Amino acid sequence: MDKSAQKILIVGGGIAGLTAAVALRQIGREVEVVELNPQWSVYGVGIIQQGNALRALDRIGLAEKCIAAGHPMGGVRFYDLQGTFLFEVPQPPIAGPHYPPGNGLTRSRLHAILQDAVRQSGATIRLGLTVATLAQSESEVSVTFSDGSFASYDLVVGADGLKSLVRRLVFGSEYQPTYVGQVCWRCNVPRLPDVTTGWLFDGGPHGKAGFIPLAPDLMYILLVETPPPGPPPRFPRECLPAAYRERLAPFGGPVALVRDRYITDESEVIYRPFETLLLPSPWYRGRVLLIGDAAHAMTAHVAQGAAMAIEDAIVLAEELESGDPLPQALDRFMQRRYERCKALVEISSQLSQWERDQTPDADVEGLTRRSFEIAATPI
């Protein structure tokens, strides 16, 4: 076995970092996770796990837990502004016959599943901490932490998300996420009985609304909106429910029903701009590697950001397990990850662009199908 990546530091205890911690512990590596957020909580409503995310989680034994905690999904149904059904893009069951094509679950449940698995794996977790400096030699990375402590590692994995500090420390400030000109509104509400998979409502210039099932009793209602050009508008937190209802006002059918019945002034509405980033290959320098949103972030149009983060973690563990020296393992990691992530970043950006420009005859169905095909190819 290659001994050059035995002791591994993971910076960031989100989806990428936690999956990597479990996968790397399963191949016998010594793993330490540092997470900036002292509460280790997660912000957001729910997440769609496409079949490729389930397939990757299956390799570390966590897919079934996610399905048990969520709601199965089988494709995407498209409707017009008033709720008239247009077409459905079915999803292949790519994780295998015993798994649904996709799964929706709350972010907090996914986080709890990953956190439990990391605790059980024997990884060390340090909360409320980040890196202050990283210095590499040929044989190790020397790290000072924000509390003044110090340690050396064989490999540092930057899994610290869109605004990655590790990316800035190692790759410089040149690579920053770009706001694409769209924002997303979401709110958890009781599930309508008919909503058994993703529903999207094309509101033309009013944006795209949708429902995503998350559990037998829960779904979220979303709106992807294109605000006027300029930076994303900001709202005080207490104004979000009213602003969300106002933006959903042009929609009829089930969207109007959910808006009027369930988005109340007390509702927790999550509002996020869409940002994108694709770090050129390779995503490593020496013994520091970036994974997840730190390396590639995409809009949510094909719901593949977290799936790519999970796949990164699984592929990294597979390549390190091969026993080859670290440079070869990281090189092969890039060969397996770059083009795949790039294709999905580009598809997401294209779908976002079509919505922003209100492109007539945009082939949304074709591109959505293409994203499913890419997701289905083996990693």
Q: Are strands 178-190 and 218-225 parallel, antiparallel or unpaired?
A: antiparallel
In 182-304, alpha helices (H): 240-248, 253-262
The C-alpha atoms of residue 210 and residue 192 are separated, in whole angstroms, by 12
Question: Least distance (Å) from ligand FAD to the CB of residue 292?
Answer: 2
Question: Least distance (Å) from ligand FAD to the CB of residue 298?
Answer: 7
The C-alpha atoms of residue 124 and residue 127 are separated, in whole angstroms, by 10
Does 102 contact ligand FAD by CB under 6 A?
Answer: no
Interface pick for ligand FAD out of 10, 24, 29, 35 (rule CB under 6 A): 35
Confirm if 222 and 185 have CB atoms less than 8 A apart: yes
In 105-192, alpha helices (H): 107-121, 165-171
The C-alpha atoms of residue 30 and residue 138 are separated, in whole angstroms, by 19
Question: Least distance (Å) from ligand FAD to the CB of residue 36?
Answer: 4
Strand partners, 215: 218
Question: Least distance (Å) from ligand FAD to the CB of residue 360?
Answer: 26
Question: Least distance (Å) from ligand FAD to the CB of residue 299?
Answer: 7
Confirm if 244 and 185 have CB atoms less than 8 A apart: yes
Amino acid at 74: G
Q: Are strands 155-158 and 288-290 parallel, antiparallel or unpaired?
A: parallel
Residue at shortest CB range from ligand FAD: 14
Residue whose CB is less far from ligand FAD, 100 or 305 = 305
Taking CB under 6 A as the rule, which mask of x and - marks residues 263-282 in contact with ligand FAD? ---------x----------
Q: Which stretch binds ligand FAD (CB under 6 A): 58-66, 86-94, 227-235, 287-295?
A: 287-295
Interface pick for ligand FAD out of 34, 62, 189, 240 (rule CB under 6 A): 34
Does 161 contact ligand FAD by CB under 6 A?
Answer: yes
State the DSSP code for 325: -
Reported as half-sphere exposure (CB side, CA atoms, 13 A), residue 247 has a value of 26
Interface pick for ligand FAD out of 160, 225, 311, 319 (rule CB under 6 A): 160
Question: Least distance (Å) from ligand FAD to the CB of residue 2?
Answer: 25
Does 289 contact ligand FAD by CB under 6 A?
Answer: no
Q: How far, in whole angstroms, is CA 192 from its chain's centroid?
A: 25
Does 63 contact ligand FAD by CB under 6 A?
Answer: no
Give the total of residues touching ligand FAD (CB under 6 A): 30
Interface pick for ligand FAD out of 9, 10, 24, 48 (rule CB under 6 A): 48
Question: Least distance (Å) from ligand FAD to the CB of residue 46?
Answer: 7
Maximum Cα–Cα distance across the chain: 62
In 194-249, alpha helices (H): 240-248
Confirm if 367 and 352 have CB atoms less than 8 A apart: no
Confirm if 246 and 214 have CB atoms less than 8 A apart: no
What are the two backbone dihedrals, phi and then psi, of residue 278, each rounded to the nearest 5 degrees? -135, 105
Does 32 contact ligand FAD by CB under 6 A?
Answer: no
Question: Least distance (Å) from ligand FAD to the CB of residue 309?
Answer: 4
Residue whose CB is less far from ligand FAD, 293 or 319 = 293
Question: Least distance (Å) from ligand FAD to the CB of residue 324?
Answer: 25
The C-alpha atoms of residue 73 and residue 49 are separated, in whole angstroms, by 9
Interface pick for ligand FAD out of 8, 16, 23, 219 (rule CB under 6 A): 16
* Subset of residues 291 to 330 that bind ligand FAD, contact rule: CB under 6 A: 292-294, 300, 303-307, 309
Contacts of 364 (CB under 8 A, 6+ apart): 78, 351, 354
* Subset of residues 104 to 143 that bind ligand FAD, contact rule: CB under 6 A: 130
The C-alpha atoms of residue 162 and residue 180 are separated, in whole angstroms, by 14
Interface pick for ligand FAD out of 8, 10, 11, 344 (rule CB under 6 A): 11
What does the binding site for ligand FAD look like in residue numbers (CB under 6 A)? 11-17, 34-37, 47-48, 130, 159-161, 165, 184, 272, 292-294, 300, 303-307, 309
